[in-house]
Structure 1
Amino acid sequence: MTPVPATAPVRGPRRRHSGTHLFLAAMALMWLAPLLWTLYAALRPKAVTDKYGYWSLHGPFGLGNFATAWTQGRMSAYFGNSLLITVPSVVLTLALASMMAFGVSRFRWRFNITLLVLFTAGNMLPPQVLAAPLFEMFKHTPLPYSVSSSGTLLDTYYAVIAVETAFQLGFCTFVLANYMKALPAALTEAALVDGASVWQQFSRVILPLSRPALAALATLEVVWLYNDYFWPLLFIHNGDRLPVTTGITNLQGQFLLDYNMIAAGATITVIPTLVVYLALQRHFVAGLTLGADKG
């Protein structure tokens, strides 16, 4: 009698993913093509582009447009303005959202779900709807001239930071609340037995465990707030205080547009967000895949 092997090889048609790979390659090309063409235009002198056209492949190539865009566009000053808006907005948003998420996820009280729904529903409202009311409210909010040159909240970083924080707070609260709900309740119960206060439970137990989610949100918020164009343009009237996304318009001449130099300026503005993403890439990917292996 011929013995039967313990495990017989399973033979069948090998699964092919050529269609999926082709689709992903096409989408990646569609996404990268404008960025690569912008970089290509930034490396070409304007005289070469005027002579041969934007769709030509003639050289020479160089970094002259980047140097001109940096000096003529005063990019260093505008980068500083973006830093003064983005960093406080991200820090305030994550700090307030983490405390709110801790309250609605780790404690049961009558209106915790209602409050979370209200925070989330705020993201459904288009920001442009509140542009006029917020402008009028900030216009009639007095501030000392030592704080604001306009005597109101207008033309200050405080107005932009407050609005950016308010509009991003709902999304961050929703994400952090869902993550904190997945943490075992035994952790805070053990801390409570050991005599930990509510603040100690939040700062020493829950907050360190939420680091991957906070890193993922920090990456997204830096990109979103740094690239925001609408609110700074609405509330800040002094051109020297504009962030880099709005200050890049200084590269446009009155009678002539140098699109090669504008492409170089746009490429320069991408560098900070790229650096932030590369620095937090590991935490960002870990935050996106949280709970993927849970049934």
Structure 2
Amino acid sequence: MKRTLFYIFATLLVLVWLMPFVITMFTSVKSMDELMMGRRWWEPPKELRFENYATAWQDANMGRYFMNTFIITVPSVLGALFLSSLGAFALAWYDFRLSKTILMIFVGGMLIPFQMLLIPVYRMSISFGIYDSYIGVILFHIAFQLGFCTFFLRNFMKTIPASIFDAAMIDGAGHFLIYRRIVLPLVVPAMAALGILEFTWIWNDYLWSLILIQSDRFKPVTLGLVNLQGQWITSWNVMAAGSIIAAVVPLVVFLLFQRYFIEGLTVGSVKG
């Protein structure tokens, strides 16, 4: 009886969670006349209009925005993973005076609302000459994701037996060699899970791109969707189609690497 109730509740919860996505799918293949005239916006379309996707791709210049998003997302994810793995290695295995203080700074930075940092980040990007450029958005993504990544990887590295490092140091291995040849292969599942999360978060980012980018040639896909909004009326069907197109890439990345994601979240949960 408990299992039956659990599956019923879980099914209802999944259906409620998927409802906005399903409604968006329906909206993306409806005509504007059907959207304006119909009151039941949750109903399936009477006539499928797949040309909305072609319109969204052409009118919003999605190809260019997709390339911009890849240029911003991939270096940001790789940079955040590399720097956070170095910081996590130092905080996990080296006992120095300010180690706990530095860890608390990383954790405290995660608790600061991003809205409080909009004006300081905007002024800093202008003063350093990186406003309205790829490098500016990439650097700030790396900086703001560094705290969570370091905290996540540091806790994972703490589960590695210390005898492995002692044996490597007895054999004459240096610190960076231990990091490169021992630590990195052991934390691949955790870094894979973290990389999927970071890729999804940075790909879907709208706030920092809006603050740090002004030129159309640097805008990512999340800002490109704004071009589909008209001055007097918005084609919601075309905008929904553009949103579906933008969501395809992180969805495909998650489906391709979900095995590593689940492995990274569950590794170390069982001893023996």
Distance in 2 separating the partners of 1:252 and 1:137: 30
Say whether the 8 Å CA contact 2:26–2:44 is kept in structure 1: no
In the other structure, the counterpart of 2:74 is 87
**Which sits farther off after the overlay, 212-221 or 246-255?**
246-255
CA 52–215 in structure 1, closer or farther in 2 if over 3 Å, else same = same
Structure 1 regions of 5+ residues with no counterpart? 1-14, 142-151
In the other structure, the counterpart of 1:162 is 139
Distance in 2 separating the partners of 1:109 and 1:265: 51
Q: Could you list the per-position Cα deviations for residues 163-193 of structure 1 after superposition, in whole angstroms to 9, with x for gaps in the alignment?
A: 1111110101011001101001111111111
Q: Could you list the per-position Cα deviations for residues 115-167 of structure 1 after superposition, in whole angstroms to 9, with x for gaps in the alignment?
A: 111111110111111111121122222xxxxxxxxxx2211122211111111
Q: Could you list the per-position Cα deviations for residues 70-120 of structure 1 after superposition, in whole angstroms to 9, with x for gaps in the alignment?
A: 011110100111111111110110000000000111122222122111111
Say whether the 8 Å CA contact 2:83–2:146 is kept in structure 1: yes
Structure 2-normalised TM-score?
0.95
Matches within 5 A, 1:60-209: 60-141=47-128, 152-209=129-186
CA 184–64 in structure 1, closer or farther in 2 if over 3 Å, else same = same
Say whether the 8 Å CA contact 2:26–2:43 is kept in structure 1: no
In the other structure, the counterpart of 2:16 is 30
Q: In the alignment, residue 32 of structure 1 is paired with which amino acid?
A: L
CA 39–140 in structure 1, closer or farther in 2 if over 3 Å, else same = same
Say whether the 8 Å CA contact 1:160–1:231 is kept in structure 2: yes
Q: Which structure exhibits the higher relative contact order, with contacts defined as CA atoms closer than 8 Å and separated by 6 or more residues? A: 2
Shift of 1:51: 4.1
Cα root mean square deviation, aligned: 1.5
Q: Does 1:40 align with 2:21?
A: no
Say whether the 8 Å CA contact 1:188–1:201 is kept in structure 2: yes
Shift of 1:47: 3.0
CA 23–56 in structure 1, closer or farther in 2 if over 3 Å, else same = closer
**Which sits farther off after the overlay, 265-274 or 55-64?**
55-64
CA 273–107 in structure 1, closer or farther in 2 if over 3 Å, else same = same
Shift of 1:58: 4.6
Find 1:235's aligned residue among 189, 206, 212: 212
Say whether the 8 Å CA contact 1:52–1:58 is kept in structure 2: no
- Identity level (%): 39
Structure 2 regions of 5+ residues with no counterpart? none
Structure 1-normalised TM-score?
0.88
Q: Which has the larger radius of gyration?
A: 1
Distance in 1 separating the partners of 2:35 and 2:100: 58
The DSSP-based 3-state class of the residue aligned with 1:256 is coil
Which of the two has greater helix per residue?
2
Distance in 2 separating the partners of 1:243 and 1:294: 44
Q: In the alignment, residue 271 of structure 1 is paired with which amino acid?
A: V
The DSSP-based 3-state class of the residue aligned with 1:291 is coil
Distance in 1 separating the partners of 2:150 and 2:127: 30
